[in-house]
Structure 1
Amino acid sequence: MVNRGILWAAVALAFAVTGSASGQDSFYKGKTLRIIVATSPGGGYDTYSRVIARHFGRHIPGNPTVAVENMPGAAQMIGANHVYKISKPDGLTIGHFIGGLFLQQLLGKPGIEFDAAKFGYVGVPAQDNYALGLSKTVGITTIEQWLSAKTVVKFGGLGPGSYTDDVPKVLKEAIGLPVQVVAGYKGTADIRLAFNSGEVQGVCNAWESTKATWSKELASGDVILVLQNTPKPHLDLPNLPLAINYAKTEEGRKIIRAVVHTIGPTSRPYVLPPGTPKDRVEILRKAFMETMKDPEFLADARKAKLDVNPLDGATLEKNVREVFNLDPALVPKTREILK
């Protein structure tokens, strides 16, 4: 009797597992999963998403088609708010926007209509390392020259909440960096066009994107990297100075650590609308991490010069929650800097 009971239990479990897998297959089969990218085409966020989209569907039960839709505007808030408020929580829409918006929610930025705690988190493909680059027309090749010359350089920005804006603003306060942010561009591709036309002379960008989408400017020497904004040097940039070493005060170092250093691990989040069924969140988390290890995806990423240094959805969710643990004493100062 005991053996018969064990046998029936095993059969029931097998049917349950098969039924669950079949249900997952039937849901996604023949459907299209959209990745809404909150920037214009041609930048790093768009490039990562399009490379991921070519391979993601193979790892989702039912093998849905994966399409990318660009929804730029309002410093990426249009896309982020759309995913939160309008997209159906059915597991068929994923949002991708700058993770700096999470900090801006904490600081009470007008226009943010989402609650980061309610998104479903899928993962990040890379943890960003930010570098500042200057046009060769400025005539400055080192951070020491820049600080001593007091030359004010115009940087292209997407708007508050984006690293293109927030990092230079923090460094202006913390190390006395002579920089002026010109905000309002819809994506880093637009900033690159403005840089090449002379409209702006500086850029703050993730090195992971820069080496892919600014490869011509790097090769020609039209953009010169002068500073990186990470706790330790990127392996590709062992001799590029670290911003925190130029901080004037302990408060400046704290703000760099709290704002600049925490952006990297959360900067490229892929998220789901609130209320997405938990089983579909888990399906997409698993598929995302499988995609990150897919040899064909990795080959495509190498061709596009994209770094792959992923975090899974659970770790991303934990890191986002850490953003909201900013020292309350630093909140007013940070809000003033990043306004």
Structure 2
Amino acid sequence: MKRNTIIRSGMAAISVAAIMLAGAAPGYADPIDLEGETVTLVHNVAPGGATAISAQVLADAWSKTMADHPTMVVQSVSGGALTKGIDYVMDARPDGKTLGYLAWQGTTRILDPEVLQIPFQDFGVIGGIGGSNFLFHLRTDVGGGIENRDDLVNLDSVTVGVYSPRMTQGMQTAAALDLLGVDWKFVSGMLGDGPLYAAMQRGEIDAYPATTSQYISELGDGPIASGETMAIWQMGPLEADGSMKLDPALEGVPTLGEYIEKATGKPPEGPLWDLIMYHAQSSAPVNWIIVAPPGTPQDHLDMLRTSFDEATASPDYLEAATKVYGSPPNIVHWQEMTKIISDVQNTSEDIKDTMRQLVERIEQ
């Protein structure tokens, strides 16, 4: 059944137990025979960025642990504010030959009308992967020019590029600029690090939230080293003590909270800060959700979950993924991922209202 023909009612009331039971159908005594087959791992952003690279790293490791050791290839299905790739996997046959490596943005998709929301709980949930932090990356010739990151607060306005108006790191950036008193304009539709950096080079945007992967591979020794651009702050998931994670690859770059406190002279607070921390808690730990199409046989789904866990624990995967992200990846197993899906579906109305107000301004 097509996603846009499904009537989705009462999603916020779905229990963790119901989610864990969803996404798989009985009927197969054994996993699907994949000997000699090709399994396509679909991601939903443009080729060439952190998503594409990290998907390939997973595919290389997963093909070694998956039953029958099929060939695994990575395919980009981008567009539609990331929904085309999600729909592609949602509508795929549950024959074992299509899997999803999806930038899910579940914390903002809850703003859709209920009948249009993506039923992530209907997928065969396999797990999730959180990469490294994002950094707010700014041209140094913006306005009258900046000499250090503290000069950001003196700018009249900043034009920021994002994947979509609901990109979580973009929403955090908009909220942070509001807290700093800096006017902003957003330009969306650039699905990945590559398109965002190209737009910056063309002068179409002044800044964007960049992945640490791009910092390591391109920005750190390139435009940042030459002084053309500057890393202003970093943002990521929360530590056990509630503080935002500092990525060791971004040495010397303050967290978003540290930057705001230094700039304003007091710790950030209020609805905008609550929104920033909500995304840090519920979205940042998982950049990509790993799924099988709805209706995937339970025995095959069990194999996929086990082989995913084995692949992401392997030394080869961890070494390669750490090179991509700049720090070890955050691996989320299927039980925890289903709980995250449920928690997101029960987000408070106050947080939703703050998000709606920001999205409306970003879309202007």
TM-score between the two structures when normalised by the length of structure 1: 0.82
> What is residue 15 of structure 1 aligned with on the other side?
none
Q: 1:267 aligns with which of 282, 287, 290?
A: 287
CA distance in 2, matches of 1:44, 1:174: 29
CA distance in 2, matches of 1:284, 1:255: 34
Mapping of 1:95-134 within 5 angstroms?
Answer: 95-100=100-105, 102-108=106-112, 114-134=118-138
1:213 to partner: Cα distance: 5.0
Aligned-pair identity (%): 21
CA distance in 2, matches of 1:197, 1:329: 38
Q: Does the aligned pair in 1 maintain the 2:57–2:320 contact within 8 Å?
A: yes
Q: Give the residue type in structure 2 aligned to 1:243.
A: L
CA distance in 1, matches of 2:293, 2:140: 43
> What is residue 296 of structure 2 aligned with on the other side?
276
CA distance in 2, matches of 1:285, 1:221: 45
Matching of residue 336 in structure 1 with residue 357 in structure 2: yes
Matching of residue 240 in structure 1 with residue 253 in structure 2: yes
Q: Give the residue type in structure 2 aligned to 1:317.
A: T
Q: What SS is found at the alignment partner of 2:170?
A: helix
1:127 to partner: Cα distance: 4.0
CA distance in 1, matches of 2:118, 2:99: 15
CA distance in 2, matches of 1:65, 1:234: 34
Q: Does the aligned pair in 2 maintain the 1:169–1:338 contact within 8 Å?
A: no
Q: Give the residue type in structure 2 aligned to 1:281.
A: L
Q: Return the index of the structure with the highest Cα Rg.
A: 1
CA distance in 2, matches of 1:278, 1:258: 33
Q: Does the aligned pair in 2 maintain the 1:164–1:203 contact within 8 Å?
A: no
Return closer, same or farther for 1:164/1:157 CA change in 2, 3 Å cut-off: farther
TM-score between the two structures when normalised by the length of structure 2: 0.77
Q: Does the aligned pair in 1 maintain the 2:61–2:312 contact within 8 Å?
A: no
CA distance in 1, matches of 2:324, 2:115: 34
Q: 1:79 aligns with which of 72, 82, 85?
A: 85
Q: Give the residue type in structure 1 aligned to 2:296.
A: T
Q: Deviations over 1:173-220 (max 9, x none)?
A: 444343321111132211111122322221102324532354533444
Give the helix-richer structure, 1 or 2.
1
Q: Give the residue type in structure 2 aligned to 1:234.
A: D
Return closer, same or farther for 1:94/1:221 CA change in 2, 3 Å cut-off: farther
Q: Does the aligned pair in 2 maintain the 1:99–1:263 contact within 8 Å?
A: no
- Which stretch of the first structure deviates more once superposed, 107-116 or 38-47? 107-116
> What is residue 306 of structure 2 aligned with on the other side?
286
Return closer, same or farther for 1:121/1:214 CA change in 2, 3 Å cut-off: farther
Give unmatched runs, 5+ long, in structure 2: 1-28, 237-243, 261-266
1:106 to partner: Cα distance: 1.1
Root-mean-square deviation (CA, aligned residues, Å) is 2.7
Mapping of 1:283-322 within 5 angstroms?
Answer: 283-302=303-322, 304=324, 307=327, 308-322=329-343
Q: Does the aligned pair in 2 maintain the 1:96–1:270 contact within 8 Å?
A: yes
CA distance in 1, matches of 2:70, 2:227: 43
